[in-house]
Amino acid sequence: MVVIRPIQTEDNTKIASIIRAALEEFGANKPGTVYFDDTTDHLFELFQKQQHCAYFIAEEDGVILGGAGYFHTEGLDKNTCELVKMYLSKSARGKGLGQKMIEHCIQEAKKEGFEQMYLETMPELKKAVQVYEFFGFEYLKGPMGNTGHDGCGIWMLKQI
**Domain containing 64 — which CATH number?**
3.40.630.30
Specify which of 86-90, 146-150, 151-155 reaches the highest per-range mean pLDDT: 86-90
pLDDT at site 100: 96
- Percent of all residues in the chain with a pLDDT value above 90, rounded to a whole number: 71
What is the rounded average pLDDT for all residues in the chain? Answer: 92
Taking the CA atoms of the chain, what radius of gyration do you get in angstroms? 14
Range of the domain at 97: 2-159
Per-residue pLDDT of 13-71, as tens digits, reads 999 999 999 999 988 887 878 888 888 999 999 999 888 999 999 999 999 999 999 99
Q: Judging by DSSP bridges, how do beta strands 54-60 and 2-6 pair with one another? A: antiparallel
> Would you say 93 and 101 are in contact if contact means Cβ atoms under 8 Å apart?
no
> Which 3 state secondary structure label does DSSP give 69?
strand
Q: How far apart are CA 127 and CA 124, in angstroms?
A: 9
Residue 74 DSSP class: T
> Which 3 state secondary structure label does DSSP give 4?
strand
Total structural domains within the chain: 1
Q: Of 33, 34, 2, 30, which Cα lies nearest the Cα of 16?
A: 34
Q: Of 94, 47, 54, which Cα lies nearest the Cα of 70?
A: 54
Residue 148 has pLDDT above 80, yes or no: no
Name residue 148's amino acid. G
Which ranges of 26-139 does DSSP label H, i.e. alpha helix?
A: 43-49, 97-111, 126-134
Residue 126: pLDDT band by 50, 70, 90 thresholds?
A: confident
